[in-house]
Amino acid sequence: MRATTLDLVRDLEPEDTVVQSMPDVSPTKWHLAHVTWFFERFVLEPAGIARFSDTYHYLFNSYYNSAGEMHPRPERGLLSRPTLAEIRDYRAHVDAQLADLLDTDALDADARAVVALGLNHEQQHQELLLTDIKHVLSLNPLKPAARRDLRRPASAAPPAYRFRRGERGVVRIGHQEDGFCFDNETPVHDALLQPHGIGMRLVTNGEFREFIRDGGYDEPAHWLSDGWSAVRERGWNRPLYWDEALETEFTLGGVAEIDDHAPVAHVSYYEADAYARWAGYRLPTEFEWEHAARAEAVRGNLLGTHAWHPVPSRDGTQFFGDAWEWTSSAYAPYPGFRPLAGSLGEYNGKFMCNQVTVRGGSCVTADDHIRPSYRSFFYPDARWQFLGFRLAKDEHD
Amino acid sequence: MRATTLDLVRDLEPEDTVVQSMPDVSPTKWHLAHVTWFFERFVLEPAGIARFSDTYHYLFNSYYNSAGEMHPRPERGLLSRPTLAEIRDYRAHVDAQLADLLDTDALDADARAVVALGLNHEQQHQELLLTDIKHVLSLNPLKPAARRDLRRPASAAPPAYRFRRGERGVVRIGHQEDGFCFDNETPVHDALLQPHGIGMRLVTNGEFREFIRDGGYDEPAHWLSDGWSAVRERGWNRPLYWDEALETEFTLGGVAEIDDHAPVAHVSYYEADAYARWAGYRLPTEFEWEHAARAEAVRGNLLGTHAWHPVPSRDGTQFFGDAWEWTSSAYAPYPGFRPLAGSLGEYNGKFMCNQVTVRGGSCVTADDHIRPSYRSFFYPDARWQFLGFRLAKDEHD
Amino acid sequence: MRATTLDLVRDLEPEDTVVQSMPDVSPTKWHLAHVTWFFERFVLEPAGIARFSDTYHYLFNSYYNSAGEMHPRPERGLLSRPTLAEIRDYRAHVDAQLADLLDTDALDADARAVVALGLNHEQQHQELLLTDIKHVLSLNPLKPAARRDLRRPASAAPPAYRFRRGERGVVRIGHQEDGFCFDNETPVHDALLQPHGIGMRLVTNGEFREFIRDGGYDEPAHWLSDGWSAVRERGWNRPLYWDEALETEFTLGGVAEIDDHAPVAHVSYYEADAYARWAGYRLPTEFEWEHAARAEAVRGNLLGTHAWHPVPSRDGTQFFGDAWEWTSSAYAPYPGFRPLAGSLGEYNGKFMCNQVTVRGGSCVTADDHIRPSYRSFFYPDARWQFLGFRLAKDEHD
Amino acid sequence: MRATTLDLVRDLEPEDTVVQSMPDVSPTKWHLAHVTWFFERFVLEPAGIARFSDTYHYLFNSYYNSAGEMHPRPERGLLSRPTLAEIRDYRAHVDAQLADLLDTDALDADARAVVALGLNHEQQHQELLLTDIKHVLSLNPLKPAARRDLRRPASAAPPAYRFRRGERGVVRIGHQEDGFCFDNETPVHDALLQPHGIGMRLVTNGEFREFIRDGGYDEPAHWLSDGWSAVRERGWNRPLYWDEALETEFTLGGVAEIDDHAPVAHVSYYEADAYARWAGYRLPTEFEWEHAARAEAVRGNLLGTHAWHPVPSRDGTQFFGDAWEWTSSAYAPYPGFRPLAGSLGEYNGKFMCNQVTVRGGSCVTADDHIRPSYRSFFYPDARWQFLGFRLAKDEHD
């Protein structure tokens, strides 16, 4: 699995791996080192293995206050060293030590659970690495591609937007299947669903274009107050990577024509919410989403498709892949939530404020890394991830 | 009722009414004019009565985009004119016209509902006016009092902190009584309560002091990530108006000794949450709060007590008044929520993002302005209001 | 003389005297108190007279680090107290004590020199008070007048722009006459004048309008690099108080038509320099100016004219009054410069960096407060003072 | 000469060449491309040779508004492409075309003058490249060296500080020798020198350490007002690259012990001025400096010494190399100054405001790139260059 990470950077130059285009973005090099640090810090160190470098320990701690001081996040792009080659060495070093530990059965069940967490953590950073380098390259007037051999499936119009009547009443929410999950998917608990209908696919570029053409970005009545402020202060008038003419967009494969049949992505929560309001609908809650998604197969346009870009739904049903979906739910702990013990308790719990839950994974989510109970989360003004949305509506008895 | 507003400023000087100490704060003069503008814009204008002044229309619109352009909020403190005396004239002018309309039965039911809304709106600004001038005067090294004749009830230790076992299962939430309510209290709907216990009173200054003495502001483990950032960036180490020695605090009556028996106030959501985490508890949801509050009489230390400051609970039960209580609930629309029609739809709905619901009213909330279903809301870093909290805990079957 | 200061605020409301519209501006109230503090701190205190108030001592120190801690300059507008009435009392109190001291011959020559400095200091603040309140009122959509009885002299076109051949070679510069001067006008020293011609009057609004019409604000070739940055970042495209249509301007008497025959004012050094470059000329050095001004009578449109606004030159010769004139000279110490002893050494010397010398006084400079050797100084981006300019040119042998 | 530029980056990794550590700093890659662009834009294009790339034209224009739109300076560090290898190709391409032109005598005298300017321009960027990468690497906790084979001459105490009585009266200033000069060194003109003494060497680290130990950074009386603001706002308490213990400093060869005998460098104008004031002296004017330097041989610790760091003066006389010297002169045009024609007129003239003249070159100035009339200039708060100072004093007749 960790080999996948290195494959993602195959077509990048060393220079590409240095840049931090905004504080939210981390340099490619940093991602490669940080996921390695995670294994070193939470598996090797507890097993008594000495650090590769005290400075690396400082540089590649992301946000674990209990693991010690760390390099300030907005200054990750100031670090030209260690070089990409040195970080590959660091990865190889830690991988070898980890392999030794795994071979010798030196790790108990708890430690093996941390290894599993580390692998899932690395998958999360595989996605971040790609969305971050997309942002970096998009700002370069030369518009370089992050990858040269991506697939671009043939496009066709998806079926018209369709709602399914949702379950109502009390349902079980949270990770109920076997296998790995993050702490924020627990505990399983009851949630109450109101009468509602839920859209079966994501909103498309073509549909979003109608909102733009109708003056959607100019009419405050569609917008939350904070959203309207963002629109005016940042000059938003289209999804993040669209050109001014609304004809092309920047993709991981370089500049491409906008496919009106494909799901819209790189919109903020505010834009998703405004579109829904304009269209006479609303966004689904994360519980409505999860319950509906349980009825669907966990497959879709994920990392393995090697499109690395949203593609049209063929049959009008789309729940996994393409783009993370903004829900109407603030990211909050489930009733009775307990974070992991120790430093790993900082993994998810401390972010449960000011963010919005997104669901379903994207076109750069690892294929085995998504499930109905999976919760990710972003601030409502985030746009640099593959972020799209589906619609929902109230039903009346 | 509108006479009350003018009584609140009785001990202020004209100079006091000009200052805007931060963008969240509005000058006293502006509050007095804005509540007047509200009646003029939403009652008199629809009744065909000409504006007092086009410039006033621009200056005193708060945030109603659909009512036209408005003066930028952060620049309200740049306006020395109209003077306080001119604004009193404006109030008298609009009051007279409104009285005429009400006398002549010229207003239909809808318009009379807007008058009721306007009166409740003015009560909200009575509270804001006092909390805003408190902030203004607190920054003055002369530490002037906003009011000279406030009552200071005798202090005594409240009973030890006590939890009541809460209702579990589906309960009815929202405004179910007769009388006025805001749109954000509707519609009545079901909510699911998990097994829980709810604290019977607010946390006190003395209890919060223990958190400080235990190094609560220095230990990131207690804090949400955004809260910890706020602590470090803004240098927070005590409630807003406490002095460095933790002995005195600034009040609407000037500098006073901190009463350890009284509820702590002027803390952010982050501080409330950190205290609860440190103490091994959590904050209640707004639904837990509302259901518990329905069992209590709607009375307490409100504006009419004329203390204008939190006071100790005598019997250990405190639900209304003293300080608004941070809940753990993000401020969101109730299922099926529909904002008011027209411009008044901007009153509440567009703020349902990034804010936290607070409940219960404060020591400067009008006595007839609070009820179990009442929802107010602030950004989680807000501290300049009378903001305190109670504890809650999970129960297990 | 101090009575003049109070007369300047005759038509202001108490509310007007509170506002600080930008950090460069001080509230009217603050000016009235600070000039009083100056006498108290530098005359009464050394004479053993107790302070009126320790808090006032802190609040009304402007920038004298050696006189103790002081209230931060950008927060002067947060102070509603002391009120205007209280500051009048403070003034009366200090005036009475000062009068006593002067009557009893208790002050030695040094102390009497400080009194003279204090009076000149107050005259400087008379000008600042007016230019600051002009800025404050200009930002108010009601556009109130600071004064209601100002004179507006009849307008007529001045003679065409004319240069006089300047002195060349070594000349004496600095205060060589009897009477008061500031330390920055000393010592008298030699300066070398290159062959040059100096314009006889200020550039007019009409002449500056030609620069605008010719696209002067759109052509980087006319501008210093820092000036061009200012133009783009702040959106400058006309003098500070002109309206967008270039027809009216805000004055101390309210909104008035722009008089094309009057000197242009409220332009930055960058605009003055750009105009000169566009016109094929340059600004004079402060030495060229001073030497030329010595040939002229010290009179003009000063405070006593009671126009409080620049007026056209009748005879084409204008050296004193109307508007301070940007020179091309960086504000620097004269060779051998020694600041005053003690705290008063901070009066001028520490500002001799990053600023530009201006000369000649303005329409709100006290009539007996200007002379050929007088040097004032502003940052090159300043515009809120009455700041204009004349042209100069190189002569070749 | 252009080969020298590439030699400077010999020990850098491709990753090092990407980073922009602050807006004043440009990435190494950018310097390599920009100096190439200069030849392409100002020599090849006028000769009718097509651009290598329109995007490069946009990316590598520094500040020539008349040459077209340009990439924003603060965003140079966002550009991972073109890579270092691609920029080397660009250099080779332009070099080849330039060599062809020079071989074939296709360039007239004016064009050959621009080639000479381009070579001097490249020498300036050789220095900037080194000082910029020093800043970049200094911020990396790994503290990498920019060069591994630097010489470190043996250290010995220089003679005690000594002043030479300077010329007084009118002297000739400006480029009077044969050979290349920049436009800002012209025209030759008279300047008036006051009676003065000028120090014979730079102030040393050891001498500056005394200022620190005496509380120099804590006493506002030593500082210009803007300097004192910088000290407090930026927390300055020692030269830029010194460690907190005042024992080591970051150099182009990595971390090294501070040599108390060597000249202090990386201090702002404010610090130089404060030291001089504390010591009872002043900084020299640029005219005093130039006249004194004419008496000295143009040699010293320059780039060719390959120390790339200031070294002690052996004989107590130091005028060229080691560190640029802050003068007391604001950077201004000489009387009768005319900038170059066309776009190259933007080279120097438009920066003649808000900056301070520095003189003498530094340890990373090319050996044949310095002369008595050479003027460079920086904002007074600049510290990242090799910036030191000498003392001067007034003499009295």
Q: What is the ipTM of this complex?
A: 0.96
**Rounded CA separation D168/D141 (Å):** 51
**pLDDT surpassing 70 at residue B1:** no
Residue C132 and residue C256 in one domain: no
Mutate which: C20, C78, C88, C134, vs B, most B CBs within 10 A: C78
Neighbours of C39 (CB within 10 A): 24
**D150 falls within a domain:** no
Residue D223 and residue D187 in one domain: yes
* D298-337 residues labelled b (16+ CB within 10 A) or e (exposed): bebbbbebebbbbbbbeeebbbbbbbbbbbbbbbbbbbbb
- DSSP E strands: which ranges in A252-333? 254-257, 300-301, 320-321, 324-330
> Which regions in chain C score pLDDT beneath 50?
none
Q: Which residue has the tokens 């009106």?
A: A260
**Rounded CA separation D324/D127 (Å):** 11
> Mean pLDDT in chain A?
96
Q: Cβ distance D59 to D71 under 8 Å?
A: yes
CA atoms within 13 A on the CB side of C124: 17
Domain that holds residue A357: 163-394
pLDDT by residue (tens digit) across A150-180? Answer: 999 889 999 999 999 999 999 999 999 999 9
Helices within B256-342 (DSSP H only):
269-279, 286-293
DSSP string, A332-393: -PPTT--PPSGGGGGTTGGG-SS-EEEES--TTS-TTS--TT--EEE-TT--SS-EE---EE
**pLDDT surpassing 70 at residue D397:** no
Length of chain A: 397
Chain B CB contacts of A224 below 8 Å: 350-353
Residue A300 and residue A375 in one domain: yes
Query: In the listed set C105, C138, C171, which residue is the last one of a domain according to the structure?
Result: C138
**D144 falls within a domain:** no
**D282 falls within a domain:** yes
**Rounded CA separation B281/C226 (Å):** 57
Question: Does any CB of chain C come closer than 8 Å to the CB of residue B27?
Answer: no
**Rounded CA separation C72/C69 (Å):** 9
Q: Cβ distance B163 to B391 under 8 Å?
A: yes
The residue-averaged pLDDT of A118-124 equals 97
User: What pLDDT was estimated at residue A397?
Assistant: 64
Q: Residue C352 is nearest to which of D224, D332, D350, comparing CB atoms?
A: D224
Q: Which helix (H) or strand (E) holds D373?
A: none
**Rounded CA separation B71/A215 (Å):** 24
Give me D242's structure tokens: 């010194």
CB contact under 8 A, D141 and A15: no
Residue D61 and residue D207 in one domain: no
**Rounded CA separation C330/A386 (Å):** 54
Residue D194 and residue D330 in one domain: yes
CB contact under 8 A, A225 and B328: no
The residue-averaged pLDDT of B209-220 equals 98
Chain A CB contacts of B330 below 8 Å: 330, 332
Residue C260 and residue C376 in one domain: yes
DSSP-assigned beta bridge partners for residue B358 = B326, B376
**B158 falls within a domain:** no
Q: Residue D351 is nearest to which of C225, C269, C354, comparing CB atoms?
A: C225
Mutate which: D217, D228, D350, D395, vs C, most C CBs within 10 A: D350
Q: How far is C389 from chain D (nearest CA, A)?
A: 17
> What is the CA C297 to chain-centroid distance, rounded?
20
> Mean pLDDT in chain B?
96
CATH number where A328 lies:
3.90.1580.10
State the greatest distance between any 2 C-alpha atoms of chain C, in Å, as a whole number: 64
Q: What angle do CA B34, B36, B42 make, to 5 degrees?
A: 95
Q: How far is A263 from chain B (nearest CA, A)?
A: 25
**D157 falls within a domain:** no
DSSP-assigned beta bridge partners for residue C376 = C358
Residue C283 and residue C344 in one domain: yes
DSSP-assigned beta bridge partners for residue C190 = C172
Cβ-in-10-Å burial (0-12, 13-18, 19+) of C269 comes to buried
Banded pLDDT at A260 (limits 50, 70, 90):
very high
Q: Is D196 helix (H, G, I), strand (E, B) or coil?
A: strand
**B187 falls within a domain:** yes
B267-276, C317-326, D335-344, range with the lowest pLDDT:
D335-344
Cβ-in-10-Å burial (0-12, 13-18, 19+) of D235 comes to exposed
Q: Cβ distance A321 to A363 under 8 Å?
A: yes
User: What pLDDT was estimated at residue D105?
Assistant: 84
**pLDDT surpassing 80 at residue D27:** yes
Give me C364's structure tokens: 């709100």
Residue C96 and residue C224 in one domain: no
pLDDT by residue (tens digit) across D131-153? Answer: 999 999 999 999 999 999 999 98
Neighbours of D85 (CB within 10 A): 12
Using alpha carbons, list the distances in angstroms from residue D288 to C333, D166, D185, D198. 16, 7, 15, 8
**D296 falls within a domain:** yes
User: What pLDDT was estimated at residue D106?
Assistant: 85
Q: Alpha-carbon torsion D201, D204, D207, D213, what sign?
A: positive
Residue D208 and residue D342 in one domain: yes
CB contact under 8 A, A82 and D17: no
**D220 falls within a domain:** yes
Range from A101-115, B104-118, C223-237 that averages highest in pLDDT: C223-237
User: What pLDDT was estimated at residue D1?
Assistant: 66
Banded pLDDT at D355 (limits 50, 70, 90):
very high
Q: Cβ distance B308 to B364 under 8 Å?
A: yes
Q: Is D62 helix (H, G, I), strand (E, B) or coil?
A: coil
Cβ-in-10-Å burial (0-12, 13-18, 19+) of A288 comes to buried
Residue C193, phi then psi, degrees to nearest 5: -95, 130
Residue C117 and residue C238 in one domain: no
**Chain B residue closest in CA terms to C76:** B140
User: What pLDDT was estimated at residue D179?
Assistant: 94
User: What pLDDT was estimated at residue B154?
Assistant: 87
Residue A205 and residue A121 in one domain: no
CB contact under 8 A, B350 and A224: yes
Question: Does any CB of chain B come closer than 8 Å to the CB of residue C15?
Answer: yes
Banded pLDDT at B336 (limits 50, 70, 90):
very high
**Rounded CA separation B370/B372 (Å):** 7
Banded pLDDT at B3 (limits 50, 70, 90):
confident
User: What pLDDT was estimated at residue A1?
Assistant: 66
> In total, how many domains does chain C have?
2
Q: How far is A166 from chain B (nearest CA, A)?
A: 14
Residue B347 and residue B240 in one domain: yes
**pLDDT surpassing 70 at residue B229:** yes
Q: Residue B140 is nearest to which of C16, C81, C136, comparing CB atoms?
A: C81
**pLDDT surpassing 90 at residue B317:** yes
The residue-averaged pLDDT of D150-165 equals 94
Q: Residue D141 is nearest to which of A21, A29, A55, comparing CB atoms?
A: A55
